[in-house]
Amino acid sequence: MTDQFDLTEEQRAIQDMAAKFTADAITPHAAEWDEQHIFPRETVRAAAALGFGGIYVSEDAGGIGLGRLEAALIMEAMAYGCPSTSAFISIHNMAAWMIDRFGPADLKARYLPSMVVCEKIGSYCLTEPGSGSDAAALKTKAVRDGDHYVVSGSKAFISGGGENEVYVVMVRTGEDGPKGISCLVIDKDMPGVTFGAQERKLGWHSQPTAQVNFDGVRVPVANRVGAEGEGFRIAMAGLDGGRLNIGACSLGGAQRCLDEAVRYTKERRQFGQPIADFQSIQFTLADMETELQAARMLLYAAAVKVTKGAPDKTKFAAMAKRLATDTGSSVVDRALQLHGGYGYLQDYPIERFWRDLRVHRILEGTNEIMRMITSRELLRQ
């Protein structure tokens, strides 16, 4: 029975490859990216050279066609070095997958070859200045005009805003509510696309974030993903995977901080002995490990459900996202406490992870919304 709850040899190989890439290409540079607000585009391209630009894009479309568990393993491994960069790559994967899964053949042929190699990077545009958790209330309008849509409105908190070339945008083509929403692929260089100033954020400094504005942008109808009115369903399907990935980024960041805390408490001496010899420290470390492993098991189980299209996949993705991101924050917070005053200094990596992981409880659906999804499914039974 044990192998049912373990990774396959292939999954371990993928995990090892991602861990090695992270150790070589991400971890040594992450502190500098954070401090200098550097967007490591070349590192993202290097990740794409390993297939990480199209993890669950089909092989027919140039991706590596893996499942959601494999994707989570890759995101977790990369977040061990830099959660901000790993999450950025996750969002690009979500955008590419939506085009692959729901887009017509012509659209896939035009966009995916350059996206899977991260020559062009994709952003996911759902949130607006006035609609966050209430995503179905979005107001960005797309009015049909012959073989084009004319798009007007704004999207807020867009990862890659101003830098990325491709924007997968949820727009209102019909009635109020979820049924009037469609999905369009919009290029950075289409006339009328502009960007707000880069947001000044608590964390996630290695990736650009900005408002994206559409002022009468003419978008070909051929750039629509799915049928008119299917946009909200497509956006939510993307979020099942996005939630797993952001949970995995929390697991990877928290694992790094737990490892740092174990190392530090063995080296740090107070009252004539390593602080790891104190029972209170041992109990704290034990709780961090137990909670992290429990969150990981739930996330991996949810990933398998999303890959298989299980009927309870959305509930499990929501539960796993909630638990992994809350646990990740909590583990990093305790790791900082175990480092004492040193944990608060930028000379140590802990404070960066503390800042980076905080936003995971907000994006891809706040953890309050995750609780709503879970309870709604429970009460529907």
Helices (H), 185-230: none
364 is catalytic: yes
Distances (CA, A) of 37 to 28, 84, 142, 157: 15, 11, 34, 16
Amino acid at site 9: E
Out of 128, 230, 351, 364, pick the active-site residue.
364
- How far, in Å, CA of 164 to CA of 119, rounded? 10
In degrees, rounded to 5, the angle at the alpha carbon of residue 176 between the alpha carbons of residues 171 and 178 is 65
In the DSSP assignment, the letter for residue 312 is: T
Q: Are 100 and 53 in contact (CB under 8 A)?
A: no
Longest dimension (CA), the chain: 79
- Which positions ≥6 away from 76 have C-beta within 8 Å? 248, 249, 251, 252, 255
- How far, in Å, CA of 225 to CA of 108, rounded? 10
Q: Are 374 and 321 in contact (CB under 8 A)?
A: no
Distances (CA, A) of 114 to 71, 96, 102, 119, 153: 20, 10, 18, 5, 27
Active site amino acids: 364
